[in-house]
């Protein structure tokens, strides 16, 4: 038993910093010592001195345009999207790829769900590709650069890059570089700039007459819910956790009230805001309620929110963006400071294909 614990402490230390004498410090002391004094290389490292989680902004912010003379013109077959099915930010982009009908024109690769060593020369843990197609169902080797990790893609794109190695990554095959790694901007590109080739070009998830409302809704959903669950889960002190949990449930209660009066979060129209809310809700009972301590109330205890989640899941193309095995493997297997032994809970195995009765608002 002692050797098992010692070996696991070594794994934790590799995830967060150089090896130490593990028998003279607890794993949490090791984590605190190294994550608070290094540049953040993953979300779990982004901590303030108060113990609160603070997400840093994305860094590659170029834009694909339908203008053929632009640096990055919208061309069929030129771009590739790297994602993790586990990551809600990447899943936003994946949802757009599917429901806009762009998946024939923008290729896709998913990484393995559980973080691994990204380089032999240091101890960073992050998104890695499988070596073979058969290694991890739903994940594939990098088909263009032969990269072993998402980190390698960042280093190909910028030799002096020192930030986080995140997904999504929108890759330009022609110039072998990252166009953009900010999901909010990628989904806006997918919404409009590829409409000359998109199979579902008529679908506008950011229509001009709703943009002000969408922006307002996005802001409180992001702060309270999308990022809120992370602020709960990654908090290292009780105060920041309590504050984040309070704000989370205030936002969920607000959604429940709104969705008791209308089918979608911005009214009668399915918009960008619904996708941004959905990617968190679909993970809530399976992961966030347990792993991130968001257990005051389950999604299934909110009648309107639960049926709304089923409604979005049943939109053609959306269910293919949800790989619950990858989602659960990642969260429970990649954060040893939260779940030291990587145990994955059995349930709850929710059926999101069951009737939702949300059509009543469209009648």
Helix 211-221 with 238-258: angle, nearest 10 deg: 140
Paired with 264 in beta bridges are 267
Q: Give the pLDDT confidence score for residue 11 in this predicted structure.
A: 37
User: What are the catalytic residues?
Assistant: 87, 230
Closest CA to 294 of 351, 327, 245: 245
Q: Which helix (H) or strand (E) holds 231?
A: helix 228-234
Q: Give the pLDDT confidence score for residue 57 in this predicted structure.
A: 61
Q: Give the pLDDT confidence score for residue 187 in this predicted structure.
A: 98
Report the share of the chain in percent with pLDDT over 70: 84
Q: Which helix (H) or strand (E) holds 81?
A: strand 79-83
Identify whether the C-beta of residue 87 lies closer than 8 Å to the C-beta of residue 275. no
Strand ranges inside 100-168, DSSP E: 107-110, 116-117, 125-126
Averaged pLDDT of the chain: 89
The arithmetic mean of pLDDT across residues 123-136, rounded, is 97
- The alpha-helical segments, DSSP class H, found in 271-323 are 272-283, 289-291, 303-313
Q: What is the model's pTM?
A: 0.86
What distance in Å separates the CA atoms of residue 192 and residue 44, rounded to the nearest whole number? Answer: 33
Closest CA to 259 of 288, 315, 290, 217: 217
pLDDT digits (tens, 9 = 90+) for 42-86: 556 665 676 665 656 658 989 999 999 999 999 999 999 999 999
Is the pLDDT assigned to residue 3 strictly greater than 60? no
What distance in Å separates the CA atoms of residue 190 and residue 172, rounded to the nearest whole number? Answer: 14
pLDDT digits (tens, 9 = 90+) for 14-45: 333 333 333 333 333 333 333 333 434 555 66
Q: Give the pLDDT confidence score for residue 162 in this predicted structure.
A: 87
Closest CA to 349 of 315, 300, 276, 296: 300
* CA-based R_g, the chain, Å: 21
């Amino acid at each position: 038993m002692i050797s098992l614990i010692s070996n696991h402490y070594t794994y934790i230390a590799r995830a967060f910093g150089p090896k130490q004498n593990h028998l003279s410090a607890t794993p949490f002391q090791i984590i605190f010592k190294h994550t608070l004094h290094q540049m953040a290389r993953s979300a779990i490292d982004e901590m303030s001195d108060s113990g609160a989680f603070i997400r840093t902004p994305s860094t590659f912010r170029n834009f694909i345009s339908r203008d053929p003379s632009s640096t990055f013109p919208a061309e069929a077959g030129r771009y590739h999207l790297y994602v993790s099915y586990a990551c809600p930010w990447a899943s936003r982009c994946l949802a757009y790829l599917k429901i806009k009908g762009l998946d024939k024109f923008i290729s896709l690769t998913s990484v393995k769900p559980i973080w691994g060593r990204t380089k032999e020369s240091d101890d960073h843990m992050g998104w890695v590709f499988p070596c073979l197609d058969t290694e991890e169902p739903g994940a594939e080797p990098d088909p263009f650069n032969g990269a072993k990790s998402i980190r390698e893609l960042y280093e190909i794109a910028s030799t002096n890059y020192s930030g986080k190695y995140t997904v999504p990554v929108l890759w330009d095959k022609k110039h072998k570089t990252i166009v953009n790694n900010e999901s909010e901007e990628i989904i806006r590109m997918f919404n409009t700039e590829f409409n000359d080739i998109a199979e579902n070009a008529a679908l506008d998830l950011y229509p001009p007459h709703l943009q002000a409302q969408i922006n307002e809704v996005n802001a409180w959903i992001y702060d309270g819910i999308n990022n809120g669950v992370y602020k709960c889960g990654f908090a290292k002190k009780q105060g920041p956790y309590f504050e984040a949990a309070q704000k989370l449930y205030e936002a969920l209660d607000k959604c429940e009230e709104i969705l008791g009066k209308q089918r979608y979060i911005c009214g009668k129209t399915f918009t960008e805001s619904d996708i941004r809310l959905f990617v968190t809700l679909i993970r809530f009972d399976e992961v966030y309620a347990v792993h991130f301590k968001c257990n005051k109330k389950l999604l299934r205890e909110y009648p309107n929110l639960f049926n709304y989640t089923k409604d979005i899941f049943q939109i053609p193309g959306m269910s293919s963006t949800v790989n619950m095995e990858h989602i659960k493997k990642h969260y429970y297997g990649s954060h040893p400071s939260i779940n030291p032994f990587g145990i994955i809970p059995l349930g709850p195995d929710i059926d999101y294909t069951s009737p939702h009765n949300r059509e009543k608002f469209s009648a």
